[in-house]
């Protein structure tokens, strides 16, 4: 009989204490893929231990790169011309695998790979990645669920283009493609999430010539090759993890100190927490949340950075169930990110849809414990937060989703005083 892991939560306890944030998942993945475009050693620190990171390393290994991981440091060796082919299973297992495409076209490697997998939160097309790389001289098309990508014989050529939408992944792929391309590229309407700026910082340290002309405009002058850095490059802290802990504290009216974060990346969250009535204070790397005297309902609209992050949507909705009055959340990035709402309603949350992109939460609701299934990574975090608020014992299944993007999720919550544990069951699979 199959063994199924789940998280068991005895809810209703107040959280209190300090928690340290790990390196950012969405930063480390593009950084890892950027090692494809430069021979030599790539040394990173503040590396989180995540499932998606292991998948990315497997994919890089299949192409011929080796690596050594020591606690929170990682050294990737790119020694030779890449002779291997990308491991199809790794590509299929996570969405960010698409980030190998720009670098591979940049170094002239033709590949056929399956379409990337990852969280089921919408159609998640890759048209922007493909169209822009094709404008640079690659020949990429989709045939029978596979990406067939033919690299140009000579270098990619520089481009001038404006993205239809500031896609995070497409911006990262394009940046990595332009770094070694022939000529000077101008990219407009790019995404400018902190993780993208982290990638730019790393590439520039290696000798790339990337200039941010305006908030959403880059000038990239192609260079012949990149250099090896002498020092380990630190990955920025994970703002979504930091936000998750603050919202967890807010959900149970606890007093939480989040350390080792970049608070300047969390402004949109602080603003909403303060509007609700929480007392939030911060310096550059630490944030402190305390409950206020009353907590009122709030309207939230997700958007591209610096707006409220879609990756904190489900956690915030868990919080909304405890607020007095009707709160609303409008999702503008992914069209299918509310699948977990049905699970929250299994706790008695009574969440309603005003339209497919907007939900209404009437609070406060006294949630009732139940068994829940995580439908994606962040939904999993949101369901656990709801479990923390719910008296009695709740179980959250689909743990593999949470492990993709949170390091030590359960131990960190335990250290804040949550009654939570990892369990496995051999009984009938819960779906
Ligand atoms: C990244 C993050 C993810 C976050 C998201 C939005 C990583 C590894 N993942 O995902 O955690 O939720 O940004 O902040 O960094 N789109 C297209 N065509 C494309 C590409 C995107 O239509 O070619 C659409 C998507 O379907 C989606 C929107 O653009 O509706 C945003 O996607 P994008 O910014 O590309 O997100 P990801 O890079 O996949």
How does pLDDT run across 352-372, given as a tens digit for each residue? 999 999 999 999 999 999 999
* Residues making up the chain, counted from first to last: 431
- Which segments of 95-227 does DSSP mark as H helices, in order? 101-106, 127-135, 168-179, 194-205
Residues 75-110: tens digit of each pLDDT: 999 987 788 889 999 999 999 999 999 999 999 999
Q: How far is the CA of 26 from the centre of ligand 1 (A)?
A: 11
Partners of 10 in the β-ladder: 393, 419
User: Please, which pLDDT band fits residue 1 given cuts at 50, 70 and 90?
Assistant: low
Give dist(CA 399, CA 402) in Å, integer. 5
Per the CB < 8 A criterion, the answer to whether 237 and 21 are in contact is yes
**Structure token pair of residue 66:** 């080796």
Q: 29 alpha carbon to ligand 1 midpoint, in Å?
A: 14
pLDDT in the model for residue 428: 54
Q: If we measure between CA atoms, which residue out of 95, 89, 97, 173 comes closest to residue 129? A: 173
pLDDT greater than 90 at residue 429: no
Q: What is the mean pLDDT of the chain?
A: 95
Please identify which residue in the block is written with the tokens 């299973």: 89
Cβ neighbors of 377 (< 8 A, separation 6 or more) are 119, 401, 402, 404, 405, 406
Is 310 touching ligand 1 by the criterion CB < 6 Å? Answer: yes
Q: What is the pLDDT of residues 19-31, one digit of tens each?
A: 999 999 999 999 9
Of 234, 229, 194, 201, the closest CA to residue 47 belongs to: 234
Q: Indicate whether 2 pLDDT > 90.
A: no
Q: How far is the CA of 166 from the centre of ligand 1 (A)?
A: 9
| pLDDT tens sequence across 106-128 | 999 999 999 987 656 556 789 99
Tell me how far apart the alpha carbons of residues 235 and 245 are, in angstroms, rounded to a whole number.
19
**Which residues 6+ apart lie within 8 Å of 185 measured at CB?**
136, 158, 159, 160, 161, 174, 178, 218, 219, 220, 221, 222
**C-alpha distances out from residue 163 to 120, 140, 167, 326, Å:** 23, 17, 8, 36
Rounded distance between C-alpha atoms, residue 205 and residue 202, angstroms: 5
Q: 3-class DSSP state for residue 278?
A: coil
Residue 422 backbone class (left: φ over 0; alpha: ψ -120 to 50; beta: rest):
beta
Query: How many angstroms separate the Cα of 343 from the Cα of each of 58, 248, 353, 368, 373?
Result: 33, 18, 14, 12, 7
- Cβ of 169 closer than 6 Å to ligand 1, yes or no, is yes
Residue 150 burial by CB count (10 A; 0-12/13-18/19+): exposed, middle or buried? middle
Active site annotation includes 119:
yes
Q: pTM to 2 decimals?
A: 0.96
Active-site annotation holder among 87, 119, 192, 261? 119
**Ligand 1 binding pocket includes 26 (Cβ within 6 Å):** yes
Confidence tier at 417 by pLDDT (50, 70, 90): very high
pLDDT band at 181 (very low <50, low <70, confident <90, very high): very high
- pLDDT category of residue 404 using cuts at 50, 70 and 90: very high
Mutate to test the pocket of ligand 1, among 333, 335, 376, 401 (most ligand atoms within 8 A of CB): 333
Could you give the C-alpha distances from 63 to 58, 80, 84, 122, in angstroms and in order? Answer: 9, 10, 4, 29
Q: Is 129's C-beta closer than 6 angstroms to any atom of ligand 1?
A: yes
What Cα–Cα distance (Å) separates residue 208 from each residue in 81, 178, 233, 281, 357? 20, 10, 15, 37, 40
Q: With bands split at pLDDT 50, 70 and 90, how would you rate the model's confidence at 336?
A: confident
Biggest CA–CA distance in the chain, Å, is: 66
Q: Is the CB of 96 under 6 A from ligand 1?
A: yes
Counting residues of the chain whose pLDDT is more than 70, the rounded percentage is: 97
């Amino acid at each position: 009989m199959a063994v199924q892991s789940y998280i068991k939560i005895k809810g209703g306890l107040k959280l209190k204490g300090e928690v340290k944030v790990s390196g950012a998942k969405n930063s480390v993945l593009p950084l890892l893929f950027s090692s494809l475009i430069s021979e030599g050693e790539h040394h990173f620190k503040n590396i989180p231990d995540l499932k998606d990171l292991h998948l990315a390393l497997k994919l890089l290994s299949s192409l011929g790169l080796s690596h050594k991981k020591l606690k929170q440091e990682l050294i990737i060796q790119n020694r030779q011309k890449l002779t291997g082919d990308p491991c199809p299973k790794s590509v299929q297992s996570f969405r960010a695998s698409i980030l190998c495409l720009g670098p591979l076209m940049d170094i002239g490697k033709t590949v056929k790979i399956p379409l990337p997998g990852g969280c089921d939160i919408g159609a998640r097309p890759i048209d922007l990645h493909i169209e822009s790389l094709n404008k640079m001289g690659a020949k990429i098309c989709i045939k029978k669920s596979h990406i067939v990508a033919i690299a140009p014989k000579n270098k990619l050529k520089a481009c001038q283009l404006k993205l239809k939408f500031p896609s995070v992944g497409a911006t990262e792929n394009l940046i990595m493609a332009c770094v070694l391309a022939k000529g000077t590229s101008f990219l407009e309407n790019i995404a400018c999430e902190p993780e993208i700026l982290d990638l730019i910082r790393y590439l520039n340290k290696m000798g790339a010539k990337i200039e941010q002309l305006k908030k959403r405009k880059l000038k990239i002058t192609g260079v012949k090759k990149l250099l090896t850095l002498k020092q380990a490059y630190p990955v920025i802290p994970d703002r979504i993890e930091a936000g998750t802990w603050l919202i967890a504290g807010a959900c149970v009216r606890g007093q939480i100190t989040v350390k080792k974060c970049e608070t300047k990346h969390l402004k949109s969250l602080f603003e909403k927490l303060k509007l609700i009535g929480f007392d939030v204070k911060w310096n550059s790397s630490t944030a402190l949340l305390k409950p206020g005297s009353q907590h009122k309902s709030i309207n939230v609209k997700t958007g591209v950075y610096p707006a409220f992050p879609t990756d904190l949507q489900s956690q915030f909705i868990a919080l909304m169930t405890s607020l007095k009055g009707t709160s609303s959340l409008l999702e503008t990035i992914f069209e299918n990110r509310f699948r977990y709402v049905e699970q929250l309603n299994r706790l008695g949350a009574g969440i309603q849809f005003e339209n497919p992109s907007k939900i209404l939460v009437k609070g406060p609701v006294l949630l009732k414990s139940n068994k829940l299934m995580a439908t994606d990574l962040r939904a999993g975090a949101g369901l656990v937060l709801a479990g923390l608020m719910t008296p009695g014992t709740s179980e959250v299944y689909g743990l593999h989703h949470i492990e993709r993007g949170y390091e030590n999720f359960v131990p960190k919550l335990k250290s804040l005083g949550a009654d939570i544990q990892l369990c496995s069951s051999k009984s009938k699979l819960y779906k």
